[in-house]
Amino acid sequence: MGLLDSIAGKAINSFLDDDSDGGSSATAMQMVMSLVQSYPGGLSGLLSKLTSSGLGEQVQSWVSGDDNQSIDAEQLTSSLGGDVISNLGQKFNLGSQETSSLLSKALPFIIDKITPDNDAGDEDKLQSGLSSLVGSLLK
């Protein structure tokens, strides 16, 4: 792992309060990637769903240069639906509560990192940023 990859991994681990060797952060990254790939409309569709579910202020804070507003696991489950969370958790052998908890911590951080230009409108650019971030952690 290169220096920048190591820094990215440590930043994510720190943000997720993960004292391990990166297992939770790697899982969170893979979960976000899986969610985005399976969600109708990709990342733009996911952000639109969260926005239309009453989390627009939080989503805007992640995309903008402002401090990221947090969401809790219940808000995320309510917005996306229990089936989405449950199905995603099954892919990673996690319960729904653990899945939504991990995602609620990871999504604000990850969305912030892949939208450095404060623009969530270019799906190809977002996918590329997400893939790069995941790749840096999984090396």
3-state secondary structure of 6: helix
Q: Which domains, from first to last, does the chain contain? A: 3-138 (1.10.10.690)
pLDDT (tens digit, 9 = 90+) per residue, 6-32?
Answer: 444 455 555 555 544 445 777 888 888
Query: Is this prediction's pTM over 0.85?
Result: no
Distance CA(11)–CA(134), nearest Å, equals: 13
> Which has more confidence, 77 or 66?
77
Is the alpha carbon torsion for 127, 58, 27, 97 positive or negative?
negative
pLDDT (tens digit, 9 = 90+) per residue, 113-127?
Answer: 777 665 555 556 555
Ordered DSSP codes for 92-129: TT--HHHHHHHHHHHHHHHHHHH-TTS----HHHHHHH
What backbone torsions phi and psi does residue 55 show, to the nearest 5 degrees?
Answer: -110, 25
